[in-house]
Structure 1
């Protein structure tokens, strides 16, 4: 990895200061430079602040402090120049983040020893410059009515959707909104994307799995409700009737650090199974004996 410059991306409100101090002390003791974007300088006032452009151009690796949303934001920041990203879990039931804050210093030692693997991630890229999504692109209705969209793949008409929302997901994002809407879980090793309607009313009612070289074109019909566009859960504008969104899969657009890939995969399978249980994670935790709670993979 050859880390010299470490970029920090922090959750906008979670209490991450203790982890920031641990990283700052470690960086100082090992001759590493630590930087943060100017927009987050108020959250970490003792860290050198640089512009977004400098951040992307200078960092050799990124440490994300938050949950999966923070991790996705960090990956999008460096999508033009992918560098390794390590996630420290200050969120809840995360699939991308791996390290608990209590194990942070050990994780930093592993990073410095380059004792880790890189997990490549594809992303969805839209025709609008700079727009990328590592989880999903969502077309959702704004107000009354239904989202009405025609799907074209590589110039061939596939059909139309009339639904509450339409999700285009990567393998990473297949366990998120796509999964909640009844779409399939796609292996991270599969170069594919999936288009899944949410609460379909007419037209195509089942998920469609597409290949890595397919270009998706979504055309908003004249009778559609107002459509909002989200990238990885972040608002990215609107599509008016007769508006068009095109997207394709870009492989190896992100590099996620895995310190123990096998253990992380096992925990992710447990976390995925928890999503189908009729209990919230905190309610399920109450069923586990106190002495075992610290080892629970969903904490």
Structure 2
């Protein structure tokens, strides 16, 4: 693809990220490509995604230099303008970034020469009973997060408003949308609807709706399932629910998840990909559904998701499974499998690229 403008999202607290950023700037200078840092927190606070990418000249390619948190920041920006995002891996336990720091130049060359796969990841978006607002004292009250808050959510101008459909919020989530309690001593009480039908009323510390990409993040920590990032689904998971049914529910992409805060509930914080975006109370509701947009992520080759799952989660074989025999063979995703397992290696699916 033609790359005219690159925007960089850099983890400012890591020296190796600063070093990788110098490599990106040097590559851009050599190829006459404009390059600018975006998502800077120290310029009068946080800004909307569209404001940030506009200030960076609407980049064709967003390069993130850090871990999964940095990639999520870059994804928020890239999704706003349908830019391609390339994640350089400087993290420890993440699943989103791919390119090692030592291969930054190789990866940029591959993008520039159109030698990449473009993976399209499902995103979530929201409707709500009202605009999301953050109380002015929330930062001091909770010390919520490690940096300045993002601005209040705006309204999507391309959607109808009113009636049962509420307010279409101009936000996207790559990982998850979380509704969580504000007071330590008071759970949130929420009616949960899937595809328009009441599933149950929950009293819990939090309720979250994740994408397949986000299934290995907060949802996994709360006991949710691991879902292939290539799948299309909404994963609803309650966090510490005060009820017997504590399982996740995996819904189809056309089955929205509704969360209505009940009369006797405490206030609840709304977090999108780990960023606080608003506070709602009894009578308010959220509708979480699949966004018509997809995140376009650059891949240099086939992503070994299950190999990474085994590595990052430190999965080990059950002693009883290998005590009296030969352990299951491993093979690299890019190499041929053992002959007796050849039928398990599926061909590359062209629909994953575009």
TM-score range for the pair, normalised by the shorter chain length? 0.7 to 0.9
Aligned partner of 1:141 in structure 2 is: 181
SS in 2 for 1:25: helix
Aligned partner of 2:308 in structure 1 is: 268
SS in 2 for 1:202: coil
Q: Is the Cα contact below 8 Å between 2:53 and 2:77 reproduced in 1?
A: no
Q: Is the Cα contact below 8 Å between 2:176 and 2:211 reproduced in 1?
A: yes
Deviation at 1:212, TM superposition (A): 0.9
Aligned partner of 2:239 in structure 1 is: 198
Q: How many angstroms apart in 2 are the aligned matches of 1:26 and 1:136?
A: 34
Deviation at 1:155, TM superposition (A): 2.6
SS in 1 for 2:122: strand
Aligned partner of 2:153 in structure 1 is: none
Q: How many angstroms apart in 2 are the aligned matches of 1:170 and 1:276?
A: 26
TM-score by length of 1: 0.83
- 12-21 or 180-189, larger mean C-alpha shift: 12-21
The superposition leaves residues 8-35 of structure 1 with CA deviations (integer Å, 9 ceiling, x where unpaired) of: 1112422222111111111111111112
Query: Any stretches of 5+ residues in structure 1 without a counterpart?
Result: 43-49, 278-299
Q: How many angstroms apart in 2 are the aligned matches of 1:118 and 1:167?
A: 28
- 162-171 or 124-133, larger mean C-alpha shift: 124-133
Deviation at 1:257, TM superposition (A): 0.8
Aligned partner of 1:31 in structure 2 is: 32
Aligned length in residues: 269
TM-score by length of 2: 0.70
Aligned partner of 2:79 in structure 1 is: 79
Aligned-pair Cα RMSD in Å: 2.3
Which structure features the higher share of strand residues?
Answer: 1
Deviation at 1:153, TM superposition (A): 2.5
The superposition leaves residues 45-103 of structure 1 with CA deviations (integer Å, 9 ceiling, x where unpaired) of: xxxxx952525762111100111111111111122322211111222212111112122
Query: Any stretches of 5+ residues in structure 2 without a counterpart?
Result: 44-49, 128-167, 318-354
Structure number, greater radius of gyration: 2
Aligned partner of 1:129 in structure 2 is: 169
Alignment of 1:121-200 (within 5 A): 121-127=121-127, 128-143=168-183, 144-200=185-241
Structure 1 residues 131 and 149: alpha-carbon distance in aligned structure 2, compared to 1, 3 A threshold: same
Deviation at 1:37, TM superposition (A): 2.8
Deviation at 1:203, TM superposition (A): 6.6
